[in-house]
Amino acid sequence: MLHRARRPTGRERGPEAVTAAVLDFAAELRAHGLSAFGEPALAAGVAVPGIVDDARGVAAYSANLGWRDVPLRALLSERLGGVPVALGHDVRTGGLAEGRIGAGRGADRFLFVPLGTGIAGAIGIDGRVEAGAHGFAGEIGHVVVRPGGVDCPCGQRGCLERYASASAVGHAWAAALGDPEADAADCARAVAAGDTRAREVWQAAVDALADGLVTALTLLDPRTLIIGGGLAEAGPTLFDPLHEALRARVTFQKLPEVVPAGLGDNAGCLGAGLLAWDLHAAAVRPPADPPSPALPAPGMSAASAVPPVRDTTDSSEVTT
């Protein structure tokens, strides 16, 4: 990483202010590239939360930022002088980095699950991250693990992130203490110190997390399970009981290697860089040679060497 900087999004001023902040920051980074390296970047990558239409380059929806159908790729490309821009989902982008250069490096199949304010996932397959048909792949935080449980803003009840995210643990620990300022980090420290109430709160979150993860393991069969986000910073306080809970739940499933994320909060930045790198590499890669035409066997005409193609407009066969 050659340069790193942070800027507030200004989301308290509304979605238009967030968009303006992103565009201004991108222009600032471009200017830094010109000043420090003598030329701007050849491509740019950006990762945003919420629902992202990667193909169209649109930030479709974000409850936290108030975005809806923002053509961010086009806006950024225009602001950056026409360079190509790749747009990705923040968790999938972080997962891309963890899979290629982080904790999942070398794994052909991995699942990256960061435990932060919410919970999402990135499904890694052979060096890429699967977005799904509509951009929703990996939303493990909205797998129902406690049917009929706590209401979730998504409209369901009992979603995983309402029980096992850092914010959920923080709220549960604050309620147990009667201290609205208590958070998940406080709970983790109390668990490590042997506090009984903290252990009860923590174990409830670990059990919910294990229930959700076993569902994911059953569906995806990853070789490596990467756990990141704020809760993963608790280290053995999280991973020891999580390993135990997973082992208690798997039956026929193959338990993957469970590892902490390796890139920390750099994952999103590095993943956005990888998106830009891939976009540039695809643009400069020479086109593949067209397939050679089929050669007729001795005694056959060229037309008869081509197999018939079924015309879907009727039941007849035509030769092209």
Distance CA 276, CA 43 (A): 5
Q: pLDDT for 14-73, tens place per residue?
A: 889 999 999 999 999 999 999 999 988 899 999 998 888 888 999 988 877 888 899 999
Distance CA 160, CA 152 (A): 9
First to last CA, the chain: 53
Same fold, 11-91+269-284 and 104-262: yes
Every domain of the chain and the residues it spans: 11-91+269-284, 104-262
Q: pLDDT for 271-291, tens place per residue?
A: 999 999 999 998 876 655 555
Q: How many helices (H) and strands (E) does the chain have?
A: 9, 12
Residue 178 has phi, psi (to 5 degrees) of 75, 25
Contact of 89 with 135, CB cutoff 8 Å: yes
Q: Spell out the CATH class of 104-262.
A: alpha beta
Task: Give Cβ neighbours of residue 127 (< 8 Å, ≥ 6 apart).
Answer: 99, 100
Does 307 have pLDDT greater than 70?
no
Which pLDDT score, from 0 to 100, does residue 180 have? 94
Residue 158 has phi, psi (to 5 degrees) of 85, 20
Task: For domain 11-91+269-284, give its CATH number from 3.30.200.20, 1.10.620.20, 3.40.50.10950, 3.30.420.40.
Answer: 3.30.420.40
Which pLDDT score, from 0 to 100, does residue 44 have? 95
Q: pLDDT for 74-133, tens place per residue?
A: 999 999 999 999 999 999 999 999 999 999 999 999 999 999 989 999 999 998 999 988
Sequence-separated contacts (24+) of 186-190 with Cβ below 8 Å: 188/231, 188/233, 188/234, 188/237, 188/238
C-beta neighbour count of 229 within 10 angstroms: 25
